[in-house]
Amino acid sequence: MTLPSWRETEVGDHKLGSMARAALWLIQEVGEGKIFTVARLREAFPDIAQIDRRMRDLRDHGWEIATSREDPTLLQQERRFVTRGKDVWVPGQAKGPNHKASITNAQRARVLQADGYLCRTCGIANGETYEDGVEQSALNIARRQVTLPDGSITHQLVTECKRCGRGSVDRSVDLREVLSRIDSLAPLERSVLSGWVKADQRTYSSLEVLWGMYRTLPEESRKAVADALDGTDD
Ligand SMILES: [Zn+2]
């Protein structure tokens, strides 16, 4: 099947929207795996004000376009066309389920349960009022971009409240970094962290309890503690 040209605005009686044309431009002018700049994209579509935003919409249709956040080898103005997704220029394809709609009720229920019915980012429960008292929370299921130990990128579902989802903060995860930090932990740190992970909350270790007690001590008592510690060093 021949692709329509990205320069066309309609094919037969079917109009080609900006997103579809951006998709065709990526295939025909950039090529999978290749780098382009936002300036070059804008140059190709001088009459479409928010062409970079339309291109971003492609992500909802399975297209992967990396920025310098996802791909540190890129400059800020550069993008990499990683993989193509749905044939959004085919009538009906672009209207297909976007990320949110494609999460089934069963998946939603499973993720909510696994996440303890809390936003994994700020810890708020559904319908709770935020600390600033401005609004009540609503929990969504978000797709989090995760870089797996083998370097491949996937998306995993996570519970997130509306407010945390709204921010422009990049919450993509690099599991390789987390795992390599764990590798470099001392045995004691490792066992403390393991306890927190099992409890799914930060519990106080005996060290922290001791530190809390020490901090409240009068100076003379603090000195006694310091001396005792020095003593154990010898
Ligand atoms: Zn939140």
For ligand 1, the distance from its centroid to the CA atom of residue 136, given in whole angstroms, is 11
CA of 106 to the centre of ligand 1 (A): 22
Cα(31)–Cα(28) distance, integer angstroms: 6
- What's the gap in Å between 154 CA and the centre of ligand 1? 22
Query: Above 70 in pLDDT, residue 234?
Result: no
pLDDT reading at 161 higher than 50: yes
> What is the CA(131)–ligand 1 centre distance, in A?
11
Instruction: Write the CA distances from 58 to 19, 69, 78, 150, integer angstroms.
Output: 7, 17, 17, 26
Give 158 Cα–ligand 1 centroid separation in angstroms: 11
Q: How many Å lie between the centroid of ligand 1 and the Cα of residue 88? A: 32
Å from CA of 177 to ligand 1 middle: 23
Q: Which residues contact 60 (CB under 8 A, 6 or more apart)?
A: 98, 99
Would you state the pLDDT for residue 61?
83
Residue 1 has pLDDT above 50, yes or no: yes
pLDDT score of 10: 84
- Where does the pLDDT of residue 14 fall: very low under 50, low under 70, confident under 90, or very high at 90 and above? confident
How many Å lie between the centroid of ligand 1 and the Cα of residue 86? Answer: 31
Sorting pLDDT into bands at 50, 70 and 90, what band is 96? very low
Split at pLDDT 50, 70, 90, the class of 185 is very high
State the pairing for strand pair 78-83/64-66: antiparallel
Asked if residue 149 lies in contact with residue 179, where contact means CB atoms within 8 angstroms, the answer is yes
Structural domain spans, the chain: 10-83, 105-174, 204-234
Q: How far away, in angstroms, is 14 Cα from ligand 1 center?
A: 42
pLDDT at 231 exceeding the cut of 90: no
Q: Are the C-beta atoms of 32 and 82 separated by less than 8 Å? A: yes
Average pLDDT, the chain: 87
Percent of the chain residues topping a pLDDT of 90:
45
- Check pLDDT > 60 for residue 157: yes
pLDDT tens for residues 27-71? 999 999 999 999 999 999 998 888 988 898 898 888 889 888 888
Cα(123) to centroid(ligand 1), Å: 6
Give residue 99's pLDDT: 47
| Distance between Cα 178 and ligand 1 center (Å) | 21
